[in-house]
């Protein structure tokens, strides 16, 4: 079965850090682009960041300078390092994968994780 599983979420104070992991099973991430999306209560799903097969990457303006996306193809895992967290970052975070090039468009991704909660609160 083809699966993506997120881990590393939880509760953190404003200004703190969390590192999310997205582990793939049943397929190799090497030929895939990976993206992180998030959805807060009452809001639409938004793209956070993506990373390509050759490790180019991009970020939403709201997280630029605070978040870093990376990948370790040997471990078949993608990461999202989140620093200087704000209450506005509170959401369920999803990783997604597609063969070929990266895109901001969620509809073009084929594989999705179950989502993991990130809560930023004092």
pLDDT (tens digit, 0 to 9) for every residue of the chain, 122 residues total? 789 999 999 999 999 999 999 999 999 999 999 999 999 999 999 999 999 999 999 999 999 999 999 999 999 999 999 999 999 999 999 999 999 999 999 999 999 999 999 999 99
Residues 6+ apart with CB under 8 A from 44: none
Both structure tokens of 86:
């704000």
Residue 28, pLDDT score: 94
8 Å CB contact between 81 and 63? no
Residue 106, number of CB atoms within 10 A of its CB: 14
CA distance 83 to 63: 9
Q: Would you state the structure tokens that stand for residue 10, as one six-digit string?
A: 């939880």
């Amino acid at each position: 079965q083809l699966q993506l599983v997120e881990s590393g979420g939880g509760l953190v104070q404003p200004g703190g850090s969390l590192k999310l992991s997205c582990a793939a099973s049943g397929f190799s991430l090497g030929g895939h682009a990976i993206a992180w999306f998030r959805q807060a209560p009452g809001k639409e799903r938004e793209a956070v960041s993506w990373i390509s097969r050759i490790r180019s990457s991009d970020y939403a303006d709201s997280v630029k300078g605070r978040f870093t996306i990376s990948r370790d193809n040997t471990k078949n895992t993608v990461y999202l390092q989140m620093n200087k967290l704000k209450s506005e970052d509170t959401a369920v975070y999803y990783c997604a994968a597609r063969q070929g090039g990266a895109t901001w468009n969620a509809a073009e991704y084929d594989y999705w994780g179950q989502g993991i909660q990130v809560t930023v609160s004092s």
